[in-house]
Amino acid sequence: MGFPGTWMTESETLVYRVVPKCACSTIGQVMHYIDHGAYFDGDIHDATTGVHKWALDHSKPRLEKVITSGSAYVFTCVRNPYTRILSAFFDKICGIQRNGRRYRGKLVPMLIQKYGVEVEGDFDQIASFRRFLLFARDTIRYRRPMDPDIHWSAMSGHVSTLVHGGAKYDRIIHTEDFQQGMTEVLSQIEVKHPIDIETMPRFNESADHGPKRAHPVEDYFDDLSMHLVREIYYRDFELFKYDIDDPSNKMPIGEIDLDEVHAKLSE
């Protein structure tokens, strides 16, 4: 199985398990900067040099050696499931991607036809999101009409692959407390080029893909949609300490217990 979704600094000091929609663009740029003293020119997801990635054939042996030996600091970053699924909707469903096209070609037309989702003009964001949420639930629970996409599949599923490979996390940080969390991660390693997380730019390539969210987070979630979110992301709320009962509270409500994470995700 290996370690899919992992990135590593070329200095081999820091390993990151990518979780989509959880500050992954910014984290990748941090990893590039601390080794090279400059940010990658473009979307870090497109980089084939400057950062080791499991998806690159030349990187796999280095990643496997470092992760299995335990010589690097290993971390990941998570986000409130309510705001994460909303972000996935506005970016991947409503937005035009950086290639100038809709995400995954026929996906949006299928959502329009089968689920009644609207994405054009002054559409009802709340109604369309709730219909998309039904679709996301169908993909995650029943794998129809397609397998779940990485941008809305559960964070615990992404995080678990590294654990199943026999490795352990040294730290899991929250997107909502990114500055402190990332600063503490970097304090655990030697960096060639120091970086100020507080003043660095944010690399959120998806921010301008879609329409702006017109309502507070909690307005998108009625009783039914909260039930669906609990159904598909229960483990994310439990492991990563978010408030399952209050969509308006995006902040974590406790400290992540790494022993609990490793035990439950190794099952």
Q: How confident is the model at residue 134 (pLDDT cuts 50, 70, 90)?
A: very high
Domain layout of the chain by residue ranges: 82-150+210-233
Instruction: Express each pLDDT in 79-90 by its tens digit.
Output: 999 999 999 999
Residue 91: in which H helix or E strand, if any? none
Rounded CA-CA distance 200/9 in Å is 18
Q: For the full predicted model, state whether its pTM sits above 0.75.
A: yes
Tokens of 108: 């949006």
Least confident stretch, 134-138, 194-198, 204-208: 204-208
Cα distances from 55 to residues 2, 138, 171, in angstroms, run 11, 28, 23
